[in-house]
Structure 1
């Protein structure tokens, strides 16, 4: 009998403890507000043919779809950039500038930037590396063409499977090293996108190795070997560390000279903006450039 009472007492104490724990958890849940979920968005992971996992963020309109499908804007560094583009698109979706799909291309995790971007957005680091980037030599680089294969291949196919898109109205936005790979895309795959936006592109990267690609691209354009090319927009800020003493403006003068050969380009310099604030300032201009019919 005594053992029975002891067991009953133990069971009762355990039940009371569990009840107290449940009450404490419920109270904690009430004290912790829920996280914000952005309306009109989807998120999924996709694995490239090389086995790399990317986190994809999508902002889509609730308005009537255009007859030929939605235009698409791919935004690199999706973890950092997607929210700004998505919300700007959503509040304007009853206007032409909001009637498109924004696809943020990012990486698993909650950090704004992932070191994998170095491999995805850059050519192979020269050896020996320049002093200002020597500390980055321990990381992988040189995977930009593999990344573009994924961006224009498997990912584009998946987006077209999930949404009704306009295959002829797809655009690309990249900032900093993302802007560098955006220019690499223009030079090496000039018909891959309808429009390309390079924000504060890192033209100085790798001892300005991008200049060789620019010269080769220019030679092909002048020789009539590039019958059609993406539209190009470059944006920088007055306080931009990647635009001292002004290589972007000089670059755009060279691009403007190709206008008679079919390259349509424009340039914006934002007053008082620095390297990390240029993308936010560029959101409205980029959406108009990508989604409005010109």
Structure 2
């Protein structure tokens, strides 16, 4: 489209969506996105779904949460606060920022930055979660951390190192090729997912084997035909149901 054509259109964002700047690790600026339900919060507060890689997932998660929570009895999704952390492209290459912030140790790609996961966890605990609690009434028993790929690895390693930080956990297509956390992480409230077509780096094989080795199990979802990029979007209804705080039930197709 030309500028002349686009000049007749007005920029739009969903009502109630908010963003604020956040000072991140190494002085980098991050954005914190927020979408809160309309109306009065339940007595215990709203569930919170907190997503990493918000530049990719915030709009899809917040839009789906708002739409599906209108028919909770049909969808299993309750109204919830959706928040997300966004890496800004003006703060350096996105791949480098993600590799640095989501990993605790060097991976097989030696040139990639790494080792910043502890600093990001500190930021979540000391700044982000208190900031969100000040913006909306949140139920601490129904807070969920969601991550995909390297973000999914960050979820698993955060569950291992700081299990009290969130109440529920979602790791979709976690990058177990970078490093593999022990499978004995205690996680009755963990959901792991992947796509059937995730064959690169043996992603599907690594993930299903890791889940199968867990002594206390985990909710597992595998999406038929989905690849690494499409799996998290195909699993959004499952992610939202998990974040709604219902019982974590093992599916019939668990590995």
Q: TM-score, normalised by structure 1?
A: 0.74
Choose 36-45 or 193-202, whichever is displaced more. 36-45
- Whichever of the two has the greater Rg, that structure is 1
Q: Tell me if structure 2 keeps the 8 A contact 1:69–1:165.
A: yes
**Among 186, 193, 198, the residue aligned to 2:159:** 186
1:273 maps to 2:253: no
1:232 maps to 2:190: yes
Indicate the structure with greater helix content: 1
**Among 30, 33, 53, the residue aligned to 2:29:** 53
Question: Residues 189 and 242 of structure 1: is their aligned pair in 2 closer, same or farther, counting only changes over 3 Å?
Answer: farther
Runs of at least 5 residues in structure 1 that lack an aligned partner in the other structure: 1-26, 260-264
Runs of at least 5 residues in structure 2 that lack an aligned partner in the other structure: 248-255
1:101 maps to 2:81: yes
Equivalent residue number for residue 104 of structure 2 = 123
Q: Tell me if structure 2 keeps the 8 A contact 1:78–1:105.
A: yes
Hey, what's the Cα distance between the residues in 2 that align with 1:280 and 1:196?
Answer: 17
Q: TM-score, normalised by structure 2?
A: 0.84
Task: Tell me how large the CA RMSD over aligned residues is.
Answer: 2.5
Number of aligned positions between the proteins: 239
Q: Tell me if structure 2 keeps the 8 A contact 1:57–1:78.
A: yes
Hey, what's the Cα distance between the residues in 1 that align with 2:104 and 2:21?
Answer: 25
1:71 maps to 2:24: no
Equivalent residue number for residue 160 of structure 1 = 133
Equivalent residue number for residue 4 of structure 1 = none
1:199 maps to 2:157: no
Hey, what's the Cα distance between the residues in 1 that align with 2:39 and 2:201?
Answer: 39
Hey, what's the Cα distance between the residues in 2 that align with 1:276 and 1:84?
Answer: 14
Equivalent residue number for residue 249 of structure 1 = 208
Q: CA deviation at 1:233?
A: 0.6
Q: Tell me if structure 2 keeps the 8 A contact 1:97–1:292.
A: no
Q: CA deviation at 1:112?
A: 11
